[in-house]
Structure 1
């Protein structure tokens, strides 16, 4: 349990100095009245650009992107997404053939991007494809070869591995160009991306028999650790960690749930601890029955934000999470892995033989 908890901290508690640029391409079939193709670009988890097959236009999702990049940038990105749209539609048909499927709802996804540690200078890149919410193929950047976790992807692996020029091109983008664009975007949005906003912490419980939820909301940056302590020691059993979610104002929220006996509510043994990256002070809330908000109207207190901000933040965050889920066609939530040439997109190929494409669109499977 301790190892699992440490792994959770590694995934959800990255250092604030680490920045990321990620792109999610998602194509779907069998979903009426929904865009068949969507792309979303994110910097440090915040959406910066968006395209779908209905609006057919790449659009900014942050004011600092709209203010710093002109029409030429968005025209270029639009052409990249239009080219990728056609390839992704073809890849859905290829996927259905490989998996011997017909009809139904299907998705093809491409996730790629890079990370940069502002303090150490360390960088990393990733390039992964998925089909129907499962891993399909991914790039081993260190050994410069593709990994096929399913038999249906082996033919794609062999084809892409043989194109050494394209592999070198991907490596150059992920290790150099992507990092250059990430640094530029971080500078564009430094007033947002480098700010610190302290969390508001609330203790919530649906019913006397339900787990007690420690809910931290309104914080920035995303890097946070939320956990329970008993008698000064971290609690690993009977604890469930939630995901870090977006709030509509650009901040984040996170929750951790503790299953505890009713008599322990006033034992004074338990406390919730919130640690925000870059802030030395821990935010500690002691578990007492009087501070727990319930569905029965108990008006506990919130620390350090305004009264009621915890529960309202939970609702807002849930709504925003659903909207983001729709916007990227489940690209982040369904496929849980963390993991084209100008203006932030890498050149890739469109032809089935793997030749270079001047349209900088996604590769065909």
Structure 2
């Protein structure tokens, strides 16, 4: 099969380390050509944590956070259901239009909309992003500085021209991302303050499969997601022979990360190497010295199976939450738009989720 569907989580895109910035994201995904898989999936996330889920098979919005389930006002879930049903219809029409634009009649195809806002509760600074993608690549984006659409593909030029001239839609976009989105984000943060603003200290271990393998520094069970893991030699940060993996979610709402150091045993036994972890939960750095007594290996009965199991559990959760690949994008210039002249006419009446 030429195209492969991967399962990943949008939350990997948070850049700031110990930020006080809160975020509200929505991800809509339409799919075509995947047997027994929902043609539409919607996920809402606050600070990278899923808060609700909807797909075209279950046809209901299900809460993913107890604090939201307990705090939501009367009528909230019905409102979210109506938004999701509307978005489902729009996405199903949009993916068919996109397939025609790209002359695709068969195979697996995805059409996605990611939009949302961010708010720094210390400085009050806000930001927004709103973007469509087709088959894992950017399709069209709204540039909030110029309030005009940009696209890297020729197929979206007619949509760009039509949407740029739709002053009514542009005004709706400006109002939603300036006021409505941020207001809802602040409300969600107040609902889940004890959960969203908690801190959990990471557990840090040094792991090694065998003496000739790289040494892995594994930090797990921490919250929030922002973390810095570095290797030091004689107290100086290392920038070579180090590979830092992406932060992954655990099944319990915490996170894990690994950093690998490639070094010969005779070198680390002759010098002072250590893994240093910086996290919001600890005022001081968490440092683990690289020496034999601190290394757990397969030969010593280390539970690598537990590590693999955690990753498997995380990926299983991700599969349930998101369903399809989320395309990589830069942190500047996001946008939201239709896929064609026909789609842009229909989508001018879009109602963003709360």
With structure 2 as the length reference, what TM-score do the two structures score?
0.87
Equivalent residue in structure 2 for 1:243, among 243, 246, 251: 246
- Per the alignment, residue 192 of structure 1 pairs with 195
Alignment gaps of 5+ in structure 2: 1-12
- Per the alignment, residue 343 of structure 1 pairs with none
Once the two structures are superposed, what CA deviation does each residue of 1:110-138 show, in whole Å capped at 9, x if it has no partner?
A: 00111111111111000011111111111
- Per the alignment, residue 228 of structure 2 pairs with 225
- 2:13 is the counterpart of 1:21: no
Distance 1:272 1:13, change over 3 A: farther
Distance 1:90 1:32, change over 3 A: same
Equivalent residue in structure 1 for 2:327, among 311, 330, 335: 335
Contact 1:28 1:106 in 2 (8 A): yes
Give how far 1:356 is off.
4.1
Contact 1:227 1:273 in 2 (8 A): yes
- Per the alignment, residue 209 of structure 2 pairs with 206
Equivalent residue in structure 1 for 2:56, among 48, 53, 57: 53
- Per the alignment, residue 139 of structure 2 pairs with 136
Once the two structures are superposed, what CA deviation does each residue of 1:207-250 show, in whole Å capped at 9, x if it has no partner?
A: 33322111111111111111111111111112211111111111
Give how far 1:105 is off.
0.6
Give how far 1:89 is off.
1.2
For residues 307-322 of structure 1, the aligned pairs below 5 Å read 312=306, 315-322=309-316
Give how far 1:171 is off.
1.6
Contact 1:204 1:293 in 2 (8 A): yes
- Per the alignment, residue 360 of structure 1 pairs with 351
Count of residue correspondences: 335
Contact 2:248 2:311 in 1 (8 A): yes
Give how far 1:360 is off.
1.9
Higher relative contact order (CA 8 A, sep 6+): 2
- 2:39 is the counterpart of 1:36: yes
Equivalent residue in structure 2 for 1:285, among 284, 288, 298: 288
- 2:169 is the counterpart of 1:166: yes
